[in-house]
Amino acid sequence: MTPQPLAPWHALLAPLPEDAVVKRRPVAPPEITSKPEGAAIAGWEQLTVELNAAARGMRHLLVVLDAHGTPISANDMEMYSAELGEDNAFFQENVGGRLEADGTFRGTRWRTLGVEGP
């Protein structure tokens, strides 16, 4: 049996709305990247998108780019609250991990649940 090709990393992330605003920032301030121990991440950037996830809550997408503009990691997180029986619950759903040179993603999905009783 031939193994199925892996999806490109961006296929794992939920689609962004057309009006999403992507912010570009350095991963560390100049006072860090100008030091010898920070030189390895000089020129690296993070792309972030913070969105209202409609009735579900908030969504935050983060992609880290190396100094050549190559994506090296990604995290897509959604936070929301909901009723769980008689309790209020807080959920956080994530997909995050490393982006490989061949365009595939090496990471995991996880869900965190917090319950607040009456």
**Tens of pLDDT along 63-114?**
898 999 888 998 988 888 877 777 788 888 898 999 888 878 889 988 888 8
What's the CA gap between 13 and 89, in Å, rounded?
A: 24
What integer is the mean pLDDT of 46-67? 81
Q: What is the distance, to the nearest Å, from the Cα of residue 13 to the centroid of all Cα atoms in its chain?
A: 8
Distance CA 64, CA 72 (A): 6
pLDDT, tens digit (0-9, with 9 covering 90-100), for 8-20: 555 556 677 777 7
Q: What is the pTM of this model?
A: 0.71
What DSSP state is assigned to residue 31? H
Residues 6 or more apart in contact with residue 66 via CB below 8 angstroms = 43, 44, 72
The CA distances from residue 109 to 88, 97, 100, in Å, are 23, 9, 17
